[in-house]
Amino acid sequence: MLALAASTIAQIALEPFSRPEIDWHAVAPELILLALGALITVIDLVGLEKVRKWMPTLTSFAFLAALIPVLTLWNDGGELPRSLFDGAYVVDRYSLVLKGLFLLTGYVVVLLSTNYMSEGDYYDSEYYQLIAASILGMVVMTSSRDLISIFVALELLSIPAYLMAAWRKRDLKSNEAGLKYMLMGVFASGILLYGMSLLYGVSGSTKLTDIATALSTGSSKPLFTLAIVFTIIGFGFKVSAVPFHTWAPDTYEGAPTPLTAFLAVASKAAGFVAMINVIIVAFPGQADVVEPLMAVLAAVTMTVGNFIALRQTNMVRMLAYSGVAQAGYIMAPLAVYGTNGDRVPSAMVTYLVIYAAMNLGAFAVILVAARKTRSAEISSFGGMFGYAPGLTLAMTLFLFSLAGIPPVGGWWAKFEIFRVLTEGHRAIGIVLAVILAVNSVIAAFYYLSITKQMWFMPTPDGDESPVTIPPALQVALVLTVIVTLASGILPGLVSDMAGNLQLALP
């Protein structure tokens, strides 16, 4: 895996021999992740079982260390955007926010994984190395403006996830989860690569800006359409859009719960980043093809996801289908990017940031509750207020946020999507906004049903002994609650950040 990670940024390592003026500051987050990932691997090979307990700490340090240059680059805003490798790699405020999101998500996932891995007697060291490699792929994805680097980043973030989904090797459901995810992922990668090859064929370049120029001046309209459709289908799998979502429920249920949180947040967000980069930069003149396709995908995805979620009795599967519906909400602004393209990235990134906090928090609560109930069935959450009132309140906040109920952050995320859809007074945006509103009401039903179960239903087994929360999970819960509340009560903080997220062109 480290060999794949090294190949992803091999140009960066060799650049000093051809271009001494390389901007080391711009690529510092990627280099720190790669260096510390390699260091963790060497320490594991030398120390073996002696260093096993230190792996979560070392991995957390790697993510926080990589966050430092992200912050310094943000403060050095006068020097942004920074373009490297002839425009194939761009560092701007849009990419920096996403790098920070992925690094912090990785940090929280490590917190969620610490006790789960140690108590389950799994292979800790390799697990954390794979998380680091996957996060590196996501960080590279944020700045990629070239089809080759986008595809390599997608594979770098996906291959470790295939392995981690089957981490519980003695569990048939985990083996099934890993196999389904891998087979569907490989199939989707083939479709995506075929679409990219068509884009290269019609443009003669892999750079997104060159593709945009070729598509705006060429005459092979059917071939353009075919290339765009295949490319979007490939990304549709990564974000679990309907009808490419069939892998998600079984994978989420069978995979280790911390990895499920990782897939539901970080992997999904990376797919949206790739989709934003390609559609906004490479297809600015193809709105007549992309907008109807994205409108249909968004409407079908949110509707199917919500209706199937209504029928679920397992909390993880419910969140899986909820995540499918959320993917429909997030991709909806791409249906109006032709007339409102400047605001589309900021609205989608705002939703991704808030969604990451509330979804990771919900999975943290599931992990804590499962330590007592040994079950993820919705019925097992009955009467939780009696023995864990603080945990119940936290889960209620996360569920209200997912439903879009003020004052928690989810309402602001949905409001930003509504605003982008309705600003241009276009029929396609208005219709999609109405569909989104109806689906939000449907989703509120099953979110509030879980809240009712926790607050008013009796404990299934009558056991109301207190639940213990390990320190790592306590930190994860505090962080996610703070972000979820702050983004709803003080939405100006989020909107001020999002206002700077113009997608820079090389």
Instruction: Name the DSSP class of 457.
Output: S
Which residues make beta-bridge pairs with 377? 314
Indicate the average pLDDT of the chain: 84
Give the model confidence (pLDDT) of 221-263 as tens digits.
Answer: 788 888 889 999 989 888 888 888 888 888 888 888 888 888 8
pLDDT grade for 1, boundaries at 50, 70 and 90: very low
Res. 2 pLDDT band, cuts 50 70 90: very low
Contact at 8 Å (CB) between 363 and 257? yes
pLDDT at 437: 92
Which of the pair, 238 or 498, is modelled with greater confidence? 238
Q: What is the pLDDT of residue 358?
A: 92
Beta bridge partners of 314: 377
Q: For residue 495, is pLDDT > 70?
A: no
Q: Which of 13-17, 137-141, 358-362 has the lowest mean pLDDT?
A: 13-17
**pLDDT higher for 414 or 377?**
414
Given this model, what pLDDT does residue 99 score? 92
Kindly state the DSSP code that residue 83 receives in the 8-state scheme: E
DSSP tag of 280: I
Q: What integer pLDDT is reported at residue 218 of this predicted model?
A: 58
Cβ neighbors of 140 (< 8 A, separation 6 or more) are 8, 9, 30, 149, 152, 153, 156
3-state class of 282 per DSSP?
helix
440 or 13: which leads in pLDDT: 440
Token pair in block for residue 28: 């510092």
Please compute the mean of the pLDDT values over residues 358-375 and round it to a whole number. Answer: 86
